[in-house]
């Protein structure tokens, strides 16, 4: 039962960078991970790629063979992949059974809001043994303008309804939020999406012609009551760890122990299937799944403090920590070097 994520979002929202960050994090945590690049226009892939759609079809091939533009070419590539689903299935079956799988999607938003190919491919994967969540990245600068924020709410809701997966919306590049000026509200307002009527003033002043339309969209979004956001700064380990916990909870991965976990007492080992994903978790399942998520960036007020209110102080503190860690590593190396020299001296004497 492989778990994984479908990473979607508008162009430049940070999908490929996030995949690379997750690969580095999981490698450090000893969790096997494989990344599938489904973006046929992705020329400079930053991460080690387990499966690349370019070996099936490239955007250039589709455009030149059928006289299409970049957008039409991209839709063609996705339809081609859907038709050749066997190709993907075969390559996925060759991957490590316990590997966590990331699917890096192209940035065309219609692929996750209107067009059916990606949805059909995902549904085929889910019908197999995959347990996936959609991770929808939205550039955090959208929250700095009320009408852009409404558009991103709409986009997120549309993707949730279209993909029909456990869905996590993420405000990416949150570390850059301060450089776009002061926010009208605290970050919590934008992530919780609780009472959008507060946007009325900003909407009437920034886009008076569409204020009524925007407010109608706001009330529609509130009626669904589905949209909320996590935050992400990809280079911040705590931010990545928090998002990982949220996603593991959404996919059900929290229920599954790592392959190296000891068997709980009384577990009967099935000789026919030794897959780690079939073993029960050692920990209390319901409290893990239903309880609050703990951790350094689990509260959006901490995120506000880290990146908005006290960014300089946190930057200084982190730099000091890194220096201390560096010095500790250096000191360890010195000790190891001295003991090697001493051992060599002892050997020479005997």
Ligand X SMILES: Nc1nc2c(ncn2[C@@H]2O[C@H](COP(=O)(O)OP(=O)(O)OP(=O)(O)O)[C@@H](O)[C@H]2O)c(=O)[nH]1
Sign of CA dihedral 145, 250, 18, 28: positive
When CB distances are held under 5 to 8 angstroms depending on the partner's kind, the choice from ligand X, Mg ion, none that residue 40 binds is none
Q: How far apart are the first and last CA of the chain?
A: 58
When CB distances are held under 5 to 8 angstroms depending on the partner's kind, the choice from Mg ion, ligand X, none that residue 14 binds is ligand X
When CB distances are held under 5 to 8 angstroms depending on the partner's kind, the choice from Mg ion, ligand X, none that residue 233 binds is ligand X
Instruction: For the CB of residue 11, give the shortest distance to ligand X in the complex, in Å.
Output: 4
Binding site for Mg ion (CB under 5 A): 15-16
Of 162, 166, 218, which Cα lies nearest the Cα of 190?
218
Selected from 3, 5, 6, 17, the binder of ligand X by CB under 6 A is 17
Six-digit token string for 215: 């407010």
C-alpha distances (whole Å) from 195 to each of 153, 219, 308 are 13, 9, 22
Report the residue number, 122 or 137, with the smaller CB distance to ligand X. 137
For residue 16, what are the contacts with CB-CB under 8 A and spacing of at least 6?
Answer: 39, 42, 45, 46, 47, 104
Q: How many CB atoms lie within 10 A of CB 150?
A: 23
* DSSP per-residue letters across 144-202: GSHHHHHHHHHHHHHHHHHH-S-EEEEEE-GGGGGGG---SS-HHHHHH---GGGGHHH
Instruction: For the CB of residue 330, give the shortest distance to ligand X in the complex, in Å.
Output: 29
Instruction: For the CB of residue 108, give the shortest distance to ligand X in the complex, in Å.
Output: 8
Selected from 2, 40, 73, 107, the binder of ligand X by CB under 6 A is 107
The answer to whether 14 contacts ligand X (rule: CB under 6 A) is yes
- CA dist 80 and 68 (Å) reads 14
The answer to whether 11 contacts ligand X (rule: CB under 6 A) is yes
**Binding piece for ligand X, criterion CB under 6 A, among 54-62, 226-234, 258-266, 298-306:** 226-234
What backbone phi and psi angles, to 5 degrees, belong to 76?
Answer: -60, -45
**Binding piece for ligand X, criterion CB under 6 A, among 48-56, 91-99, 124-132, 169-177:** 169-177
Instruction: For the CB of residue 111, give the shortest distance to Mg ion in the complex, in Å.
Output: 13
Report the residue number, 16 or 34, with the smaller CB distance to ligand X. 16
Report the residue number, 39 or 175, with the smaller CB distance to Mg ion. 39
Of 188, 211, 185, which Cα lies nearest the Cα of 198?
185
The answer to whether 176 contacts ligand X (rule: CB under 6 A) is yes
- Name the site residues for ligand X (rule: CB under 6 A): 9, 11-17, 39, 107, 172-173, 175-176, 232-234
């Amino acid at each position: 039962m492989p778990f994984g994520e479908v990473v979607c979002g508008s162009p430049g929202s940070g999908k490929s960078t996030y995949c690379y960050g997750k690969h580095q994090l999981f490698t450090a945590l000893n969790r096997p991970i494989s990344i599938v690049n489904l973006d046929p226009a992705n020329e400079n892939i930053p991460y080690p790629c387990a499966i690349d759609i370019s070996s099936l079809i490239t955007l250039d091939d589709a455009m030149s063979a059928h006289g299409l533009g970049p957008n039409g070419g991209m839709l063609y590539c996705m339809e081609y992949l859907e038709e050749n689903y066997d190709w993907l299935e075969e390559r996925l079956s060759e991957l490590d059974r316990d590997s966590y799988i990331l699917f890096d999607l192209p940035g065309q938003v219609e692929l996750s809001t209107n067009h059916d190919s990606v949805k059909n491919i995902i549904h085929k994967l889910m019908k197999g043994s995959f347990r996936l969540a959609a991770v929808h990245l939205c550039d955090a600068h959208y929250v700095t303008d009320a009408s852009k924020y409404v558009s991103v709410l709409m986009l997120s809701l549309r993707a949730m309804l279209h993909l029909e997966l456990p869905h996590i919306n993420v405000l990416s590049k949150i570390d850059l939020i301060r450089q776009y000026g002061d926010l009208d509200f605290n970050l919590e307002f934008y992530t919780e999406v609780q009472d959008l009527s507060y946007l009325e003033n900003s909407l009437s002043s920034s886009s008076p012609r569409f204020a009524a339309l925007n407010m109608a969209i706001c009330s529609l979004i509130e009626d669904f009551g589905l949209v909320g956001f996590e935050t992400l700064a990809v280079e911040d380990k705590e931010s990545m760890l928090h998002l990982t916990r949220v996603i593991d909870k959404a996919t059900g991965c929290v229920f599954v122990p790592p392959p190296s976990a000891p068997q709980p007492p009384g577990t009967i080992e099935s000789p026919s299937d030794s897959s780690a994903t079939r073993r029960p978790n050692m920990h209390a399942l319901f409290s893990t799944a239903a309880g609050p998520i703990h951790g350094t960036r689990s509260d959006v007020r901490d995120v506000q403090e880290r990146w908005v209110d006290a960014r300089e102080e946190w930057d200084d503190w982190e730099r000091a920590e890194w220096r201390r860690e560096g010095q500790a590593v250096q000191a360890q190396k010195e000790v190891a070097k001295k003991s090697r020299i001493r051992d060599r001296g002892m050997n020479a004497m005997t």
